[in-house]
């Protein structure tokens, strides 16, 4: 398959690219204009402006599947700014450009507690920590609302993971549930390595059954 990766230079994006190559997919990495990259020579690099539909429409030519691991937008960690400045702002451009190019599948990396900012989590320090991320959660949720209200042929899924780390890829099975978290880990989200996140996204790209038609799913490994 021809798979495009947005957020290709990021910690998760790079793992997604490595694993797509391992699975013999054709990979197109989307990066900012002027960004110096050191991807594997098999990767085609295309510079795009993620806030510009025309730029993305041109960039997405030939793609079958799109994976987005975008993140780290400016203002995300500021208490008064950043809300809706990243995910919510970029998604209309992505979806229009994806429709323009008849892309069938869009997988977006989202976050555990996306729809409920962890108000039900009991430990004080967990709540305190997560409250610093409220802007990101609200921005992601706004993105989801925009997607739900958008008339699109793209089959999209926001894939929510908890506490990314740089651990090794495991062989663990994936647990997948509809919603922004897995019930069994509701109060204590389990962390997951970026390599396993990449493993999940690549599998989800290859196998529609893994995420079915749910628009918001959570996943983690059984290990
Ligand atoms: N940390 C966690 O525990 C956790 C948990 C669940 C979900 N997540 C989410 O997972 C996602 C990926 O995480 P990560 O650690 O891999 O992120 P990361 O290393 O910060 O990568 C973010 C990517 O987004 C790109 N990007 C940001 N703003 C851009 C812009 N204006 N134009 C073009 N590209 C832009 C960056 O490009 P540049 O390299 O050019 O800046 C980079 O490739 C994030 O959205 C994060 O919120 C994180």
Across 39-53, 102-116, 123-137, the highest mean pLDDT is recorded for 39-53
Which residue carries 């919510």 as its tokens?
88
pLDDT, mean over the chain? 90
Is residue 74 within 8 A of residue 82, CB to CB? The reply is yes
81 has pLDDT over 60: no
Is residue 175 within 8 A of residue 219, CB to CB? The reply is yes
Which residue has a Cα nearest atom 47 of ligand 1?
A: 71
What residues does each domain of the chain span?
2-221
Q: Ligand 1 within 6 A of 192 CB?
A: no
The neighbouring-strand residues paired with 194 are none
* Cα–chain center distance at 1: 19
Ligand 1 centroid to Cα of residue 7, in Å, is 6
Ligand 1 centroid to Cα of residue 45, in Å, is 17
128 has pLDDT over 90: no
Quote the CA–CA distance of 32 and 81 in Å, as a whole number.
Answer: 23
Which residue has a Cα nearest atom 7 of ligand 1?
A: 111
Helices 124-131 + 134-149 axis angle, to 10: 60
* pTM, two decimal places: 0.95
Ligand 1 centroid to Cα of residue 9, in Å, is 8
- Mutation to probe ligand 1, out of 11, 67, 72, 130 (largest number of atoms < 8 A from CB): 72
* Phi, psi angle pair for 212, to nearest 5°: 45, -145
User: Which of ligand 1's atoms lies nearest the C-alpha of 7?
Assistant: 43
Q: Which fold has domain 2-221?
A: Rossmann fold (3.40.50)
How sure is the predictor about 80, in pLDDT bands with cuts at 50, 70 and 90? low
Q: Which carries the bigger pLDDT value, residue 211 or residue 40? A: 40
Quote the CA–CA distance of 100 and 94 in Å, as a whole number.
Answer: 10
Ligand 1 centroid to Cα of residue 71, in Å, is 3
Eight-class DSSP state of 59: H
Q: Ligand 1 within 6 A of 10 CB?
A: yes
Mean pLDDT computed over 148-173:
94
How sure is the predictor about 110, in pLDDT bands with cuts at 50, 70 and 90? very high
Quote the CA–CA distance of 185 and 188 in Å, as a whole number.
Answer: 5
Q: Which carries the bigger pLDDT value, residue 87 or residue 123? A: 87
């Amino acid at each position: 398959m021809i798979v495009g990766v947005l957020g290709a230079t990021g910690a998760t994006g790079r793992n997604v690219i490595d694993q797509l190559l391992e699975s013999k997919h054709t990979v197109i990495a989307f990066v900012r204009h002027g960004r110096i990259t050191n991807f594997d020579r098999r990767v085609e690099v295309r510079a795009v402006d993620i806030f510009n539909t025309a730029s993305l429409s041109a960039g997405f030519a030939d793609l079958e599947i799109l994976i987005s691991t975008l993140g780290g937008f400016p203002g995300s960690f500021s208490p008064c700014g950043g809300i809706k400045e990243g995910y919510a702002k970029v998604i209309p451009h992505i979806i229009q450009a994806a429709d323009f190019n008849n892309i069938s599948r869009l997988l977006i990396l989202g976050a555990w507690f996306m729809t409920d900012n962890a108000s039900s989590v009991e430990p004080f320090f967990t709540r305190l920590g997560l409250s610093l991320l409220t802007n990101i959660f609200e921005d992601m949720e706004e993105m989801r609302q925009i997607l739900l209200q958008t008339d699109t042929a793209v089959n999209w899924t926001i894939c929510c993971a908890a506490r990314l780390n740089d651990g090794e890829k495991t062989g663990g099975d994936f647990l997948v549930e509809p919603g922004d978290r897995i019930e069994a880990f509701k109060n204590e989200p389990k962390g997951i390595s970026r390599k396993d996140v990449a493993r999940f996204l690549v599998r989800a790209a290859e196998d529609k059954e893994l995420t079915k038609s749910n628009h918001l799913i959570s996943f983690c490994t059984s290990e």
